[in-house]
Each structure stands twice: as C-alpha cells, then as structure tokens.
Amino acid sequence: MTTSQPVVVFRTQSAIEADVVRGLLQTSGIDALTSTDVPQAIFPLGGLSGVRLAVRAEEAERALELIEEFRPEVSQQLTRIRDEFRSVEEAIGYRFSDPGLLEHALTHRSRAHEDASGGVRDNESLEFLGDAVLGFVIADRLFRECPDWNEGQKSKAKAMLVSTTALARIGTEVGLGEHLLLGRGEEKTGGRRKRSLIADTFEAVVAAVYLDGGIEAADEFIERWFREPLDAVRDGELAEGLQTDYKSALQEAMQARELGLPRYRLVGEAGPPHRRVFTSEVAAGERPLGQGEGRSKKESEQQAAQQALEQLAEG
C-alpha cells in the first residue's frame, strides 16, 4: 500500500499565522504538518522565511475550503496580534519593515520546544547576534567618549552597561515581558518576570533591529536606550542600581537580624555554551531566602541576594 505525498495547503511568513490556521484545521479533524523553507538556517534573514502547512492528499480539498471559509476569522486574530506587535514597536521606538523579525525576537525557546512540528524558531540565535551588536556599539561609545580611560576601566563599564541587570531593567521599562511568546510551562512558572529571560529578549530585539535596518538603525536604537547610563558612567555617576553590591548588603542585613552569614549554592545551569544561565540560591542556615539567575555565578548570586533582601524587608 502506497502513501500519498502530503499536499501544501498554506504558506506564510509568520509562525503565529501558521499556528492559527493549523489550529483551525485540527478542530475539524485535519492534522497538518508544519515545515520551513530553510530548515538549516541558523536564523532566517528577512524574518522567518516561509512556513508551510501540508495535509494528506485526500484531505487537501477540504482543508483549502476551511481555510477560505474562515479566512476573515484568521485575519481578525492576526490583526489583534499585529496590533500587539505595533504596541511593542511604539514602546521600543522602532518600526520594522519586516514584522516577522520582531515575532522571531519575541519567541522564547519554550514556545518552540512545545511545538512538535518544528515550524517555530526560538530567538536564541538572535540573542547571540544581538549580544555581539550591542557589545560592539557600547564599546565604540566608550572608546570615543572616554579616551583617557584604560582598558580595564572601559571593560568594567561595558560589563555593567550590558549586564543582565541593566538589560532587564530596560526590557522591563519597554514592557517586553508582556509581549513574549512563551510555552505553557514557562508561562506558568512566571517567565514573563524572569530578568534573564527579559534581558535575552532585549538582545534578540537589538539583533532584529540590526537585521531589519542595518548597523545605523541598531546604533540609533542602542543610543536611545543607553544614552542616560552611558552619560552616568562617563561622568562617574553610575545609573541607579548598576553597581549595587547586594551580597554585601544582605550580609549586613542578616547579621543585624542575628541570622548568621548567607550561604550560596549553585542550583542550576541552562542554555547553550555561549549563553549559559546560572541559577543560585541563598539561604540562612537551612531556610531559603532567594534565588537568582545570571550569565555568571557571581551575577546569579547578586540576583539571589537582591531577592533575599526584598524578602527580609517584607518580614
């Protein structure tokens, strides 16, 4: 018995649109396979490339009828989604020529992992590119604006400016957490509030701006969001919170309460080698006080200490 080849019934540049149409077909008992035009690409230049939906040959005619019948409903859902993306564009101050790049930048790996079809790409490759673009632009600014600083001073300033804490602060100000495309599991565990996740997404957005408008657009975008902290660093007045030593502050707070010294331990590592995320926990004796994430063990401990200070302040 021979099996007929699947028939492509729908093509789009948007993984979200493909999901909407696939869901429509599934509610009518038609299973659709999702594939992309460039499956081996590290990241698709010009957006998500083509996403295709294919069904069994004997169901193709019915699938096409359903797609046409419910096209207005699909368009209405997509309009709502695009309006949401428009609000992101307004918040970050950049209008994309290719909105698919913004969709890609907002797609967390949990969303892609829960899609068994393989038709959804996460933003990790964009994070990698955005980290490089952001680091280059900030280094260029420091080189030009702080010519008398030595290499160590510039390196320290750059590290603070592009730290998870700094990027998460900007991403939270922009409201990126509200617009992330998350999987159900990450949604339930409070992914929209995770600082490391918001920081990574901001880097992905930087890469999306770069791919959409080139280095000049990325440079203007970074200038908009980093001018104030850059000025503060240059003038010797670091932006609020950038250099707070939460570990020292926690130690003082615990000693004042006679809780002894804080104990830190590494409880998790995740992400690819070039984008490792460390999770640390701090405790008073056997009592956990806080957890934190960061791109280094030191940064994750600082975040854990900050959360512990907040918990102690609440009583």
Residues 6+ positions from 30 with CB-CB distance below 8 Å: 55, 59, 62, 63, 66
**Contact by Cβ (8 Å): 294, 164:** yes
Catalytic residue, chosen from 103, 186, 203, 301, is 203
Tell me, yes or no, if 17 is annotated catalytic: no
Distances (CA, A) of 98 to 47, 84, 102, 169, 212: 7, 15, 8, 26, 7
Helix (H) or strand (E) holding 125: helix 124-145
Q: How many residues does the chain have?
A: 315
Question: Smallest Cα–Cα separation from 178: which of 206, 201, 161, 212?
Answer: 201
- What SS3 class is residue 245? coil
Distance CA 21, CA 16 (A): 9
Q: What are phi and psi of 21, to 5 degrees?
A: -70, -40
Catalytic residue, chosen from 131, 219, 281, 299, is 131
E strand segments, the chain: 7-12, 33-36, 51-55, 263-270, 277-284, 287-294
Q: How would you class 200 by CB atoms within 10 Å of its CB: exposed for 0-12, middle for 13-18, buried for 19 or more?
A: buried
In the structure encoding, which two tokens stand for residue 119, read together?
């038709």
Tell me, yes or no, if 37 is annotated catalytic: no
Active site members: 131, 203
